[in-house]
Amino acid sequence: MLRKTLSRRELLLAAGAGALAAGLLPPYAPALADTAAVEDAIKKLLGEVKPQQGKVALEVPEVAESGANVPFTVVVQSPMTDKDHVKAIHVLAEGNPLPGVATFHLTPASGKAQVSLRMRLAKTQNVRAVAVMSDGQAYAITKEVKVTAGGCGG
Amino acid sequence: MAAKIKMPATAKKGDVVEVKVLIDHAMETGQRKGADGALIPRKIINKFVCTYNGKQVMQADYHPAISANPFMSFFLAASESGEVKFQWFDDDGSVQEAVQKITVE
């Protein structure tokens, strides 16, 4: 069966492949993920659960001078008890070659649902943090980071 | 591949203490091309695990988007004196380990 319409992602991929074939792009320019790729990745991580707003905070710089080393901190409101704790924190980026950044699996022994790390960002883009709680609920937040110089090398 | 790990050596029972980990690693993404135009193969730390007296505190899965020389901070609820063990897993199959002692009063 032929589909009449292409999604934006497919169109961009096709356009990118065409440009590569024509030698128009520099050889090291990777295909970048986009919002749809991140949505897909989140669906794979969460299954049927739809992330809600609230409970999770994401600290990132508004402007990053270098995309090679962008600090981020995720804080989730949770008592971190056996009955009620954060099971996982996923961090994803919408404009990198791959959407995944990191996943933290926490336990009540963590005491506090707060993690910090540093990531690479290829360009200005949205970064998402998704927290999965012990009761199966998920919470998400998105923040934009403006990147002056990309961090994926090349 | 050395690592610097900072956490308090002593704590009161029930304290939640911060653990900071800095690992020396290039975290080669597998996306870059070398001078010869060939892709430089991916070589990153893909997993980090912290256990406290044998019980897992946290595990972090890293993707290539983690910066070179990853610097991470997380928390640990001090419950009893003992050993906090850190392990990190390289794409090449090697596993590095570090141990810190904590005294809980």
ipTM score of complex: 0.95
Contact A27 B77 (CB under 8 A): no
Give the pLDDT band of residue A33 (cuts 50, 70, 90): confident
Distance of CA A70 to the CA centre of its chain: 13
Answer yes or no: is pLDDT of A4 > 60. no
* Maximum Cα–Cα distance across chain B: 58
In chain A, residues 91-150 whose CB comes closer than 8 Å to chain B: 93, 96-98, 100-112, 114-121
Token pair, residue B36, equals: 């010869």
Asked whether the beta carbons of A78 and A113 are under 8 A apart, the reply is yes
Which one of A112, A118, A151 has the shortest CB-CB distance to B75?
A112
Answer yes or no: is pLDDT of A20 > 50. no
Record the pTM: 0.85
> Tens of pLDDT along B14-32?
999 999 999 999 999 998 9
Answer yes or no: is pLDDT of B102 > 90. yes
String of b and e for A129-148 (b: at least 16 CB within 10 Å)?
A: bbbbbbeeebbbbeeebebe
Per-residue pLDDT at B2:
85
Structural domains in chain A, sorted by start: 30-147 (2.60.40.2470)
Contact A101 B66 (CB under 8 A): yes
Answer yes or no: is pLDDT of A6 > 80. no
Per-residue pLDDT at A27:
46
| pLDDT mean over B59-78 | 97
Selection from B27, B59, B67 nearest residue A118 by Cα: B67
Interface mutation target, options B58, B80, B84, chain A, most CBs of A under 10 Å: B58
> Tens of pLDDT along A94-149?
999 999 999 999 999 999 999 999 999 999 999 999 999 999 999 999 999 999 87
Per-residue pLDDT at B66:
97
Whole-number Å distance between alpha carbons of A129 and A56: 8
Which one of A107, A115, A119 has the shortest CB-CB distance to B66?
A119
